[in-house]
Structure 1
Amino acid sequence: MIRMLLASVFAALFAISIAAADTQDVYTIPDLQVDEVAPTLIQAREQAMASARLQGARQLIDKITLSEDRIAAGGVPVDGALANRLSAAVDVQEETAGAGRYKGTLRVVYNPRMVRAHLDGLGVPYVDTQAPLSLMVPLAASADLEEAWREALGPANPGALAPYVTANLAGYSSYSDWNALSPEAGSLRARRAVLAELMGREGAWRVSVSIVTTAGTETIGITLPASTVDGAAAAMVGLLEENWKRASIIRGGERTQAKATVRYTSLAEWNTLRGALARSPLVSDFRTTAVARDGAVVTFAYLGDPQRLQNDLLQRGVALGDEPQAGWVLRSAVSAAGIP
């Protein structure tokens, strides 16, 4: 009994810690460029910090909300005073200072409670939970172009609303399914994959984007033309984040209480399953009430309908089923598909 109780406590702490880590990533805005001149270096630095807070606050609000929701609320104006209230810390990534001039690259961390309270007060819905980590698969018409495309995407984007790690292996195509992608995805702890095919020419690049999971391949869309490959990468990230927000933002509705049995074959699989529940933007009040060697009983509340919850969890590699005797049962969709 004591062992089961301790396991339940550790499970709850684990879920809280990973959710907090995801939230910190979302509320951190890096790579803010500043260049300020003032009578003294101290004044220039203060102006630069204020500029970074303002830039970052605007980027953060755009990041976690949809444009039509901001418009419906009459806009979400951000001035210096509000940006200062929302921010928690400013970190220096790079700086050059002297003779009354401060130039650098800054990172600003914002206070989730303050940002949420501000958006709630305006009636603007938002999502600040990250999408499942994806294996990003760069595709292009030639090997040289594919390499340039891979470089533009970078190795990873951990702070994005739709984070990814870029594939290192070659040989993938627009027809690659989860069976082909899962070995590398699994090694990088990605629960889904994104096929990002660069098309067009210099000055007019577009990207065709599809998401691959154990359930199959879903076409997300094609980005608007971008003048550079780097611009195409930014447009692709924007499309992924837009897709995630539309799938995850819930406008009103009541939470439904649920109880489920979680079945797993190892401690690692159990950690993955409970982590998926903790990260879902539809799930709250997640609790573990009993733990055994190969299964657990959990309770939680969820927004939306069961089908939406099922789709969200499947994106995270978790299958939700309804069995006659057991009721709701959660198990690894990866294991269920026969993939190690």
Structure 2
Amino acid sequence: MFSLLRSLFLAGLTFTLTAPAFSADILQASVAVDVTAQNTSAAREKALGEGQQQAFRRLLESMTVEADRGRLPHPANWQEWVIDFSVDQEKTTPVRYLATLSVRFKAQPVRNLLRQAGISYAETVSKPVLVVPVLAQSGRGLLWDEDNGWLKAWQERPKLSSLAPVLTPMGDSWDRQAYDVGLDRERLETLGRRYGAAQTLLAEARVSPTGIDIRLIHPNGQAALLTVANAKDQAQPPYRRAADAVALQIEESWKRANLVSHDSLGALVVTVSFNGMAEWLKIREKLERVSLIRRQDMLELARNRASLALHHSGDFAQLRTALSQADLNLSADGQGGHSLALMPAR
């Protein structure tokens, strides 16, 4: 399943790989908090305290594969690594506090923690994937219909941090005119461009007596199958559980392709081409957001060209993928060297 889903997921990212949430110095995680206490102030204080700890745990989980969850460390001094936090979507009652909490952490202590635990991790954030949830029912596919509980489950998922962000169409009049049910590559790509997605996947769900069968379909026709069995406790609605399972598989596939080994440090000299100072500054800004790049050394600077030494984690393929997430194209220059330039606008 992982190998098929990995090829499906990476198929649209090879050459068209949102700005990373991570950088060389900062790692970030977001969580939803929902706390009840004797009053709003007490609930908020408790939520912010517990939420920061949950965000740290979410950060470790988002960087590592599911098989390593049981090995994740529990450092007592994690609070020393908190830089700051922000709050969004606050809602309150006299005794309840709800919000989305985003916490920024110092990157190097977190990396050292995972290295010391012998756990490989990923840092590169993919551009968003747009998931279009189609419900197969009574011999036809439902998408924008009111009866499509599969679409609603995706739309109601909290927008939390992930190395493989997943988006869902709003279903407004623009979406409805742009695309309806069916494997129409041009229309799917048009829909994806509206949401800034690197690729668009059809998620066709079919309810069976034992659970929900899901077929993930890339516009090029590749498909992967996933079955989410019925749960005994039903703590979450079935469609929501299935949506979470699909999102987790997408994230796992991306992370497995971008795991960085503990000793994979290297340096690469690149020639950067640009048209004017404004474009050069834009490239430098994008390079600062590539978390695999630990340091940049300027070797030469001319009017429309520069030479940089990029000190990085990961291998060459992982560095190229990370750069492509920032819309930077790394390629061989045909003379034994490497060139770097902005990708053309889509």
Smaller-chain TM-score bracket: 0.5 to 0.7
Partner residue in 1 for 2:165: 163
- Gaps spanning 5+ residues in structure 1: where? 1-17
Higher RCO structure, 1 or 2 (CA under 8 Å, sep 6+): 2
Specify whether residues 33 and 43 from structure 1 end up closer, same or farther in structure 2 by C-alpha distance, changes over 3 A only: closer
Partner residue in 2 for 1:61: 60
Partner residue in 2 for 1:133: 128
Query: Which of 184, 187, 205 matches 2:212?
Result: 205
Does structure 1 conserve the Cα–Cα contact (< 8 Å) formed by 2:29 and 2:58? Answer: no
Task: Give the whole-Å Cα distance in 2 for the aligned partners of 1:267 and 1:211.
Answer: 39
Task: Give the whole-Å Cα distance in 2 for the aligned partners of 1:218 and 1:330.
Answer: 31
- In the TM superposition, residue 218 of structure 1 has moved relative to its aligned partner by 6.8
Task: Give the whole-Å Cα distance in 2 for the aligned partners of 1:70 and 1:133.
Answer: 24
- In the TM superposition, residue 135 of structure 1 has moved relative to its aligned partner by 3.8
- In the TM superposition, residue 263 of structure 1 has moved relative to its aligned partner by 4.6
Deviations 1:134-160 (A, max 9, x none): 344444445534553444333994733
- In the TM superposition, residue 291 of structure 1 has moved relative to its aligned partner by 5.9
Partner residue in 1 for 2:103: 109
Deviations 1:176-213 (A, max 9, x none): 2xx665555455443x203132222177234334667x
Task: Give the whole-Å Cα distance in 2 for the aligned partners of 1:318 and 1:261.
Answer: 12
**Correspondences of 1:113-124 after superposition (within 5 Å):** 113=107, 115-124=110-119
Larger helix fraction of residues: 1
Give yes or no for the alignment of 1:241 onto 2:238.
no
Normalised by the length of structure 1, the TM-score is 0.66
- In the TM superposition, residue 66 of structure 1 has moved relative to its aligned partner by 2.0
Q: Aligned to 1:124, what secondary structure does the other structure show?
A: coil
Task: Give the whole-Å Cα distance in 2 for the aligned partners of 1:166 and 1:269.
Answer: 32
**Correspondences of 1:295-310 after superposition (within 5 Å):** 296-310=306-320
Partner residue in 1 for 2:4: none
Specify whether residues 329 and 263 from structure 1 end up closer, same or farther in structure 2 by C-alpha distance, changes over 3 A only: same
Task: Give the whole-Å Cα distance in 2 for the aligned partners of 1:158 and 1:25.
Answer: 17
Partner residue in 2 for 1:259: 269
Specify whether residues 323 and 58 from structure 1 end up closer, same or farther in structure 2 by C-alpha distance, changes over 3 A only: closer
Deviations 1:296-339 (A, max 9, x none): 54431334443444455556665543233372234566x5xxx8
Specify whether residues 34 and 42 from structure 1 end up closer, same or farther in structure 2 by C-alpha distance, changes over 3 A only: closer
Partner residue in 2 for 1:195: 201
Deviations 1:110-150 (A, max 9, x none): 42345445444534333344222334444444553455344
Specify whether residues 326 and 250 from structure 1 end up closer, same or farther in structure 2 by C-alpha distance, changes over 3 A only: closer
Q: CA RMSD in A?
A: 4.4
The code of the aligned residue for 1:52 comes to G
Partner residue in 2 for 1:250: 260
The code of the aligned residue for 2:263 comes to G
Does structure 2 conserve the Cα–Cα contact (< 8 Å) formed by 1:94 and 1:106? Answer: no
Partner residue in 2 for 1:290: 301
Partner residue in 1 for 2:51: 52
Task: Give the whole-Å Cα distance in 1 for the aligned partners of 2:125 and 2:290.
Answer: 8
Task: Give the whole-Å Cα distance in 2 for the aligned partners of 1:229 and 1:256.
Answer: 44
Give aligned-pair identity as a percent: 21
Task: Give the whole-Å Cα distance in 1 for the aligned partners of 2:99 and 2:254.
Answer: 28
Q: Aligned to 1:199, what secondary structure does the other structure show?
A: strand
Task: Give the whole-Å Cα distance in 2 for the aligned partners of 1:271 and 1:198.
Answer: 43
Specify whether residues 291 and 206 from structure 1 end up closer, same or farther in structure 2 by C-alpha distance, changes over 3 A only: farther
Task: Give the whole-Å Cα distance in 2 for the aligned partners of 1:225 and 1:218.
Answer: 23
Answer with 253-262 or 23-32: which moved more: 23-32
Q: Aligned residues, how many?
A: 303
Specify whether residues 153 and 308 from structure 1 end up closer, same or farther in structure 2 by C-alpha distance, changes over 3 A only: same
Answer with 143-152 or 59-68: which moved more: 143-152
Deviations 1:56-81 (A, max 9, x none): 3333322222233344x4x4347xx6
